């Protein structure tokens, strides 16, 4: 029973496309949550961090 289950899982996971799909979903999820944070909370936190580190000129260069 366990051996047949392991064979089924190995057959499913042995495809290259499945691995690429998992990688794309993981990276896409990280980018989604990063973007949602910026969308809802704004870039004020980044602005304050740059001013504290005295690199606000780069921030102004972007036009914010």
pLDDT at residue 27 in the model:
96
CA distance 15 to 55: 47
Instruction: Report domain extents, the chain.
Output: 2-61
Confidence (pLDDT) at 58: 59
CB-count burial class (<10 Å; 0-12, 13-18, 19+) for 56: middle
The predicted structure's pLDDT at residue 34: 84
Q: Give the pLDDT score at 26.
A: 96
* 12-62 tens-digit pLDDT: 777 778 888 889 999 999 999 888 877 887 777 777 877 788 776 655 666
Q: Quick check: 18 and 12 in contact, CB under 8 A?
A: yes
- DSSP at 43: S
């Amino acid at each position: 029973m366990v051996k047949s289950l392991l064979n089924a899982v190995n057959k499913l996971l042995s495809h290259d496309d499945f691995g690429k799909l998992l990688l794309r979903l993981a990276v896409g999820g990280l980018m989604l949550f990063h973007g949602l944070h910026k969308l809802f909370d704004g870039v004020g936190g980044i602005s304050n961090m740059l001013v504290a580190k005295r690199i606000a000129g780069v921030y102004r260069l972007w036009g914010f």
